[in-house]
């Protein structure tokens, strides 16, 4: 249950077996128009209703039929009740109050010592504390889950790197042999491309782990973004032999990590090839005052407008065009993280196709 703002209904379960005390409490609550009170008078009924977890708060009498309120209080969480539990006591007694708090009470109130506004404030305060506590627990659980996922991804990725390296060496060795039959060369080449794709996927997963941990390191030095793009060209043409790639490059010096910036070019062009329906891809680099820009443009269907706000999200499945496969968004998410680590920004818009623009500070 969440903390409730002023004006919203507060669903209250009152566990009270004394008729006179109930009449007094009911009279107070009548002055609270946003309260909806349900009363039960036995521990058995209380446990049944608490298990349903349909109330925002429970007011629980300390003395309750043959079973005391503390026993019900201790059982409430096991039964699945998520709201705060406030113990009602007959008299101020430090030992009683401590016992109630140790059993899981959010607060305790002495009967006859409060009016309607005081009761309303106490319950709203208990709801707020309960909401904050549940948020802390949820955050801790999410962080623990992320740590487990990161550790698993890192472990599996590291374990896969060695056999993939061995496979790559074996494929290259077989492919370079003079006596390989001609009809074997095509499947050997296909195997080599598959190993390359798997290797890139492993490196992407490791980069994601680094990004989520805030451990993406940069080796900054003076580099020319135009030269970085030229260096990327050979690898891109090797991976995409049929690629129509046009480079329009002007000197664009900056302080950056050449390897990581080449990775940005690779990922943006790979994305354009994947989703641009084999249309020509243009890479443009410019120096613009205190910034340099990298623009990668395809001539495909572009990014659906409803997906543009989410296109850089890691692990987000998306369909860029009818009949095309869904991607996980690894390359684009990593490219954005690298650009932002350089103090820049990566954006996308449609203009006769998808246009990705990385804008980075030149100093």
| In-domain check, residue 4 | no
Q: In the numeric block, which tokens belong to residue 263?
A: 């990775």
- The larger pLDDT score, comparing residue 89 to residue 334, is at 334
Query: Is 94 in the same domain as 159?
Result: no
Please give the pLDDT value at position 2.
Answer: 46
Mean pLDDT value across residues 173-193: 82
pLDDT exceeds 80 at position 350: yes
Please give the pLDDT value at position 119.
Answer: 86
- In tens, the pLDDT along 307-318 reads 999 899 876 544
| DSSP three-state, residue 58 | strand
- Of 177, 197, 213, which residue is a domain's last? 213
Query: Is 208 in the same domain as 311?
Result: no
- In tens, the pLDDT along 202-225 reads 888 788 878 877 888 899 999 999
Query: Is 280 in the same domain as 309?
Result: yes
| pLDDT band for position 322 (cuts 50, 70, 90) | very low
Mean pLDDT score across all residues of the chain: 84
Query: Is 186 in the same domain as 248?
Result: no
- Of 213, 238, 266, which residue is a domain's last? 213
- In tens, the pLDDT along 78-89 reads 898 988 888 888
Structural domain tally of the chain?
3
pLDDT exceeds 50 at position 348: yes
Mean pLDDT value across residues 70-79: 86
Q: What are the phi and psi torsion angles at 92 (to 5°)?
A: -70, 120
Query: Is 18 in the same domain as 122?
Result: yes
Query: Is 63 in the same domain as 101?
Result: yes
CB 309 within 8 A of CB 316: no
Burial of 15 (0-12, 13-18, 19+ CB in 10 A): buried
pLDDT exceeds 50 at position 282: yes
Query: Is 198 in the same domain as 245?
Result: no
Q: In the numeric block, which tokens belong to residue 141?
A: 């659980």
Query: Is 152 in the same domain as 83?
Result: no
- The larger pLDDT score, comparing residue 19 to residue 320, is at 19
| In-domain check, residue 248 | yes
| In-domain check, residue 97 | yes
Query: Is 129 in the same domain as 157?
Result: no
Please give the pLDDT value at position 320.
Answer: 44
The Cα–Cα gap between 275 and 339 comes to 21
pLDDT exceeds 60 at position 100: yes
> Based on C-alpha coordinates, what's the Rg of the chain?
32
- CB pairs under 8 A, 24+ apart, for 196-199? 196/168, 196/239, 198/160, 198/164, 199/161, 199/164, 199/165, 199/168
- Of 138, 167, 197, which residue is a domain's last? 138
Q: Which domain holds residue 112?
A: 10-138
Query: Is 65 in the same domain as 190?
Result: no
| In-domain check, residue 67 | yes
Please give the pLDDT value at position 48.
Answer: 92
CB 204 within 8 A of CB 334: yes
CATH code for the domain in which residue 319 is found = 3.30.565.10
Query: Is 342 in the same domain as 314?
Result: yes
Query: Is 286 in the same domain as 180?
Result: no
């Amino acid at each position: 249950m969440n903390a409730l703002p002023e004006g919203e209904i507060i669903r209250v379960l009152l566990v009270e077996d004394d008729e006179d005390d109930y009449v007094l409490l009911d009279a107070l609550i009548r002055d609270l128009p946003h309260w909806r009170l349900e009363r039960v008078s036995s521990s058995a009924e209380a446990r049944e209703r608490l298990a349903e977890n349909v109330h925002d708060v429970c007011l629980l009498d300390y003395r309750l039929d043959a079973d005391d309120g503390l026993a019900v209080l201790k059982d409430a969480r096991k039964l699945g009740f998520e709201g705060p539990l406030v113990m009602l006591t007959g008299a101020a007694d430090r030992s009683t109050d401590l016992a109630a708090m140790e059993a899981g009470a959010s607060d305790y109130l002495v009967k006859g010592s409060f009016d309607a506004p005081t009761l309303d404030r106490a319950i709203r305060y208990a709801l707020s504390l309960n909401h904050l506590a549940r948020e802390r627990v949820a955050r801790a659980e999410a962080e623990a889950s992320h740590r487990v996922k990161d550790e698993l991804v890192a472990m599996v990725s590291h374990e896969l790197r060695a056999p993939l390296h061995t496979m790559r060496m074996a494929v290259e060795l077989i492919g370079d042999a003079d006596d390989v039959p001609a009809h074997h060369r095509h499947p050997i080449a296909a195997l080599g491309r598959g190993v390359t794709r798997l290797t890139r996927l492993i490196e992407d997963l490791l980069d994601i782990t680094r990004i989520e941990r805030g451990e993406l390191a940069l080796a900054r030095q003076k580099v020319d973004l135009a030269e970085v793009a030229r260096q990327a060209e050979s690898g891109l043409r090797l991976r995409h032999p049929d690629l129509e790639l046009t480079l329009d490059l002007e000197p664009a010096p900056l302080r950056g990590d050449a390897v990581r910036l080449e990775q940005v070019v690779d990922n943006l062009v790979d994305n354009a090839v994947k989703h641009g329906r084999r249309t020509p891809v243009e890479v443009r680099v410019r120096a613009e005052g205190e910034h340099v820009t990298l623009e990668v443009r395809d001539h495909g269907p572009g990014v659906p407008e409803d997906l543009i706000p989410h296109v850089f999200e890691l692990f987000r499945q998306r369909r860029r065009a009818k009949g095309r496969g869904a991607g996980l968004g690894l390359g684009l998410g990593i490219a954005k993280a690298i650009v932002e680590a350089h103090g820049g920004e990566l954006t996308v818009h449609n203009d006769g196709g998808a246009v990705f623009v990385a804008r980075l500070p030149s100093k």
